[in-house]
Amino acid sequence: MPSLTLLLPLLAMLNFFQGATPAYKNLTPAQFSAALRQPGAVLLDVRRPDEFAGGHLPGAVNIDVTAPDFAQRVAALDKTKPTYVYCRSGARSANAAGQLTKSGFAHVSNLLGGVLDWPEKLVR
């Protein structure tokens, strides 16, 4: 049986790597689309307003993650509702999803690949 002095550093390392896992879920477009059908889901487009105007997912709320008032604006949303976040390619929405989970949002999901990989029609 390995000694405790050998196991403790290993356990500490495993716990360190677990902390690197995002608190939000990354979903494929198919998973994201299916999840949006649940009642009470909040759909958040974190692109710039001009990008949003060019086409967005139906029912989306636009709050630009790069805007200085992003944290203030998302604070007005219900933190208990499932929140689905997307952007153009998935990078800004991953950033936003991390910010949302840190500020207390319970159920946050990010669209992998963003609208570039979204197979359904966008609305204007």
Q: List beta partners, residue 121.
A: none
Q: Is 41 a catalytic residue?
A: no
Kindly name the residue from 42, 65, 87, 108 that is annotated as catalytic: 87
Closest by alpha carbon to 102, among 81, 61, 74, 76?
A: 74
Conformational region of residue 90, where left means phi above 0, alpha means psi within -120 to 50, and beta covers everything else: left
Question: Can you say how many angstroms the Cα of residue 73 is from the centroid of all Cα atoms in its chain?
Answer: 16
Helix ranges (H only) for 19-77 are 29-35, 49-53, 70-74
Residues belonging to the active site = 87
